[in-house]
Every structure is written in C-alpha cells, then in structure tokens.
Amino acid sequence: MYHKHEYLNGKNILIWGYGREGKATERFIKKFCPDSKYEVFEGKRDGVNADEYDYIFVSPGIPFDEADPKFTSETQVFLEAFRDRTIGITGTKGKSTTSSLLYTALKSCLGHPVCLVGNISVPCLDYYEEMLENPDEVAVFELSCHQCDRLTVSPHIAVFLNLFEDHLDRYITEERYFEAKKGITRNQNSDDVLYVGEEVPDYSVDSKKKVISSEISEHFELAIPGEHNQYNAEFVKRIACDEYGCDEEAVRRAIKAFSGLPHRLEFAGEYNGIRYYDDSISTIPEAAVSACESIPDVKTVLLGGMDRHIDYNVLTRFIPKHPEINFICSYDAGRRIYDETKMSPNLYYKPDLAEAVELAKKITPAGGACVLSPAAASYGYFKNFEERGDVFKGLVAN
C-alpha cells in the first residue's frame, strides 16, 4: 500500500531546528524513511545551503518566508496524510483549552480512538504510526500561527476562535499575522467546515463557514473559571454534536468534568490568606483583562515580560478604571505598560518576577487573589511560559 509520506524516502533531508518537533521529525524519518539521509541544523538561514537537500523540515519557531516547496514541516506532512481526520484549532486565545476540551469530549463520546497533538501536546508525527494503524482515529490538532503559516493543505474541520494583536515581533503587522492564521483554511474545499468566532474579521473561504455567536443561550457547568470558557465550550459542543453525532448531555458531562490545564488560570495555592493563580499562558492584554474578570476578588495582578511591540491600550485603559486592583509591572513590557498608564496610583514597577511576588505578598489583602497574567511573552527571561509559571508557583509557596 502506498502511503503519502513515501515521497520522502530515499531523499536527502535537513531538520532545521531540534526542539520537540525536530526530534519527532528525526524519529519519523528513522521509522518511515529508512533510505533517507538526514542532518540536523540549529542556526540561522545563512547556514542552510538549500541546494544540498531535497527537503528541509523547518521548526515553527524559526522565522521564515521563502516559498520554495522543498521547505516543509511536520504539520504539513501529517496533514498530507490525515487532513480528512483532523480537527485543526487556532486562535490568539483559548486554543489550548478548547483543544483539550474537545479531545476530552470526543474521547468520552466516540467509540474509536482520538488523539491530541500539536502545539499543546505530543508532536503530531509521534502519532503518525497510530493514525496509520487506526483508520477511524481522529486527531485534535492545536495549531499556532507559525504552524499554519506556510501550509499547502488544511484540516477537514478548522476552528478559528478569535484574533487579537500578537506576535508582531515576527509578523510586524496585524494583517500579516492574520494571513498566517488563515493558513488553517487556505486550502479547504466545499466539503470542509470552518467554525469561526465573532472576533475573527470576516473573510471568504471555500469551506462551509459556521459562525459561533458569543451570545450563548444555555450556559455550561464548568470546573474552570472564566466567561470566555463558556464560549470555548460552545465550540466544543457544536463540533462534537454537529460533526460527530455525539449526545449533547454526554458532551456536557465531559465538559463539566474537565479540570483545566496548567498555567491557564490555574489555582496555585493559598498562603497567608491570599489565593494565588498562575495564568502564565497570558501573552496579550486581552488575556490579562479576562483574568481580572474571571477570578473572584482579584486584588493584585502581575504583568510584563518580553516587549513584542503590541498595542497595550486595552490594558492601559482598564487599569485606571479598577483602583481596587494592584497592578505590578516587570521587565520591558511591564515598563511600557507602567509608562503608558501615566503613573496610576494602583500601579507599581519591579524589575523581575521575584521582586514582584515579594511586593504582592505585602500589598494583597487577606481574602483576596493574586494572579500572574503577564500579557507578554516569556522569552528572554524564561525558557517558556511553563517555566515562568513554575517559577511563580515556587515563589509564592516559599
């Protein structure tokens, strides 16, 4: 039997980037392309001689715009083989929670295997063999803008939750960022489906477009906080019931049982009468505002990280209107927020997370909550948002 990946066998391949995806690509080549030769490279574009290779797998974190088809990715290869059985989920906010909720619902309701892959979970090529062996298996695939950007194949079911200004350090303009996200639908056809949120600008697609309204008629019982998660749950219910014929009550039970993900409004403990929450996944101002609106009795919010030159007006307008909340800013993005808010009396600046937590312990009243919701990326100060969240939890517990 011919498999879609066989065009890679016997080729000269470069793996450009050796993080989680690069290592998964190496395992895939060893297993499915035994006659291929491959090399691993970690460096800049000028260190890659494209003429030496038939295919170059580019890790999603590497900025890249060239149109040469020999540059590919593990996402591309996975979708070439399994796009008909893949639900791709993207958006600026909520894609990890929505992907996990949908995976939980489908796993409990369907009579065949479901896997969760991509940005949130296991690299997709690590599930390649299982997907081959189980022709009914469905993949729930969380897709970042970087993974969507250069795709020439799109998932059968695409989910585009929302769009807010983000990643301008790489894409420069919000329009270019939007174009990258559109890769999830760019190659859909009339038999495919797009579930799209109201906060995504209207754009034409060849697939069947289903717009999910934020006006939800019947709320869900959730173990995770936040009105935004009601909206995420609505996407899950619609997809599970309308596309896979799941029983709505069974879907609601699965949604109710979902306890949330680390670093996403995660309860980090209560110390000296203060409740602490880790929302380190927050990298845009809208996420920090949502955290303030989702956690009861928020009294202190920790902001700041890498400055990616996004617009902080949403947050700088919000801060002066909420004098009951202390906002402690740190790092370069925190300095910008601090300066742009014009010295509001509920605003503080500390150079790093350790000093911010120390101040939070002093100024947060007992009975209140302190939330790490940075509204900025972690890069340059931490390895990733997970490390930032873990450091925060260690600091509050110390």
How many domains does the chain divide into? 3
Q: Domain holding 288: CATH number?
A: 3.90.190.20
71-89 mean pLDDT: 98
112 and 240 share a domain? Answer: yes
How far does the chain reach from its first CA to its final CA, in angstroms? 58
DSSP state of 329: E
215 and 167 share a domain? Answer: yes
101-109 mean pLDDT: 96
Q: Domain holding 212: CATH number?
A: 3.40.1190.10
200-223 mean pLDDT: 92
171-191 mean pLDDT: 93
Question: What would the 3-class secondary structure string for 176-240 be?
Answer: HHHHHHHHHCCCCCCCCEEEEECCCCCCCCCCEEEEECCCCCCCCCCCCCCHHHHHHHHHHHHHH
Query: Would residue 4 count as lying in a domain?
Result: no
Last residue of a domain, one of 212, 236, 257: 257
307 and 393 share a domain? Answer: yes
Residue 52: what are its φ and ψ, rounded to 5°?
A: -85, -10
What pLDDT, in 10s, does the model give residues 345-375?
999 999 999 999 999 999 999 999 999 999 9
Which residues of the chain form beta strands (DSSP E)? 12-16, 37-41, 55-58, 71-72, 86-90, 114-118, 138-142, 157-160, 193-197, 208-212, 266-271, 274-278, 298-303, 326-329, 347-349, 369-372
pLDDT at 83: 98
Query: Would residue 5 count as lying in a domain?
Result: no
110 and 94 share a domain? Answer: yes
Last residue of a domain, one of 24, 50, 72: 72
> What is d(CA 48, CA 393) in angstroms, rounded to the nearest whole number?
41
What pLDDT, in 10s, does the model give residues 231-269?
999 999 999 999 999 999 999 999 999 998 889 999 999
Query: Would residue 2 count as lying in a domain?
Result: no
111 and 206 share a domain? Answer: yes
pLDDT at 98 over 70: yes
Q: At 170, is the pLDDT very low, low, confident or very high (cuts 50, 70, 90)?
A: confident
222 and 102 share a domain? Answer: yes
237 and 119 share a domain? Answer: yes
What pLDDT, in 10s, does the model give residues 43-63?
999 999 999 999 999 999 898
pLDDT at 343: 79
Dihedral sign from CA coordinates of 371, 376, 381, 384: positive
Query: Would residue 184 count as lying in a domain?
Result: yes
What pLDDT, in 10s, does the model give residues 282-326?
999 999 999 999 999 999 999 999 999 999 999 999 999 999 999
> What is d(CA 298, CA 33) in angstroms, rounded to the nearest whole number?
54
Q: At 167, is the pLDDT very low, low, confident or very high (cuts 50, 70, 90)?
A: confident
52 and 83 share a domain? Answer: no
11-17 mean pLDDT: 98
Lookup: tokens for 161: 């939750």
What pLDDT, in 10s, does the model give residues 216-231?
878 999 999 988 999 9
CA nearest neighbour of 144 among 184, 175, 176, 116: 184
Report the share of the chain in percent with pLDDT over 90. 88
Tally Cβ neighbours within 10 Å of residue 75: 31
pLDDT at 290: 94
Domain of 362?
Answer: 266-397
pLDDT at 214: 84
pLDDT at 386: 94
291 and 358 share a domain? Answer: yes
231 and 320 share a domain? Answer: no
pLDDT at 1 over 60: no
> What is d(CA 33, CA 11) in angstroms, rounded to the nearest whole number?
8
Query: Would residue 328 count as lying in a domain?
Result: yes
DSSP state of 262: T
Query: Would residue 98 count as lying in a domain?
Result: yes
207 and 352 share a domain? Answer: no
Query: Would residue 1 count as lying in a domain?
Result: no
pLDDT at 33: 97
213 and 294 share a domain? Answer: no
pLDDT at 125: 97
> What is d(CA 153, CA 72) in angstroms, rounded to the nearest whole number?
11
Query: Would residue 3 count as lying in a domain?
Result: no
Last residue of a domain, one of 257, 287, 303: 257
115-140 mean pLDDT: 94
pLDDT at 2: 58
Count of residues in the chain: 398
Check: CB of residue 249 under 8 Å from CB of residue 343: no
